[in-house]
Amino acid sequence: MDKILKFKIWGDYAHFKKFYTTTSPLTFEFPPPPTIIGIISAIIGLDKNEYLEHFQNPEEFKIALSIQNPIKKVRWSQNLIDTKHHFWRIKNRTQIRIEFLKDSAFVIYFFHKDKNIYDRLKRNLENHKSVYSVSLGLSELLANFELIDETKIENSKSDDWTNIDSVLPYSYLQDDNSLDFEVSREIFKVNFPISMQPNRVVNKREDILFERNGKPIKCKVKEFWKTRKGENIVFF
């Protein structure tokens, strides 16, 4: 892996449902890797029933994410209707509160050993085209996207403190004392689904560290990747 695609995705609202919420859905602060895979698959046109088959071997693809806008959340009520009947016969409605992200923007770093997948994504990003509509979690929350760069990347290792620009899986830390909680940082840890089988069963979860305003996290990590423009990132 000597180069990766770097592209931005953003929208007015987003919702990435947390797995433990039902009647009052809460949202993750950024899209989990399975959702990012779904977004990439929508852009290049992989069928929804088979796209996960191309993302089962973690040695064949890499995904990283950085937060561009401060994480803001809003909540409003929505009416859920009983769709078992014709619209004009609907009488039952259920009002629930749903949490959304507001003005979200993320940068995705992506690599895949399958040249067909990689080149199709690069071509569609360059032409600002997608085969299917691109959304941020829910079909009605449409997203925009643009290619930022195809950048060279190199693996690095250091025992020194490093500023990581992407979100950070906890397993990358050298030890429990390898995180610097700077005064100007708002660092959170949330458990995220990392990989999903084709039958949509999650087979890996991990704690992910992130800075709420998208600022770098100062830490000591086992390894990281440096882009041509000097960004330090780690992959999920």
Q: What is the pLDDT of residues 93-142, one digit of tens each?
A: 788 889 999 999 999 999 999 999 999 999 999 999 999 999 999 999 99
Q: What percent of the chain has pLDDT over 70?
A: 96
Band (77; pLDDT cuts 50, 70, 90):
confident
How much is the mean pLDDT over the chain? Answer: 93
Report the 10 Å Cβ neighbour count for 82: 11
What is the per-residue pLDDT for 71?
97
Q: How far apart are the first and last CA of the chain?
A: 15
- Topology adopted by domain 3-233: Alpha-Beta Plaits (3.30.70)
Task: Using CB atoms within 10 Å of the CB of residue 222, give its burial: 0 to 12 exposed, 13 to 18 middle, 19+ buried.
Answer: middle
Instruction: Read off the tokens for 184.
Output: 């100007």
Res 86 pLDDT > 70: no
Q: Is 71 helix (H, G, I), strand (E, B) or coil?
A: coil
137 CB contacts (<8 Å, ≥6 apart)?
14, 15, 16, 17, 27, 31, 35
What is the per-residue pLDDT for 93?
74
Domain chopping of the chain, boundaries: 3-233
Distance CA 27, CA 15 (A): 5
Q: What is the pLDDT of residues 198-222, one digit of tens each?
A: 998 999 999 999 999 999 999 999 9
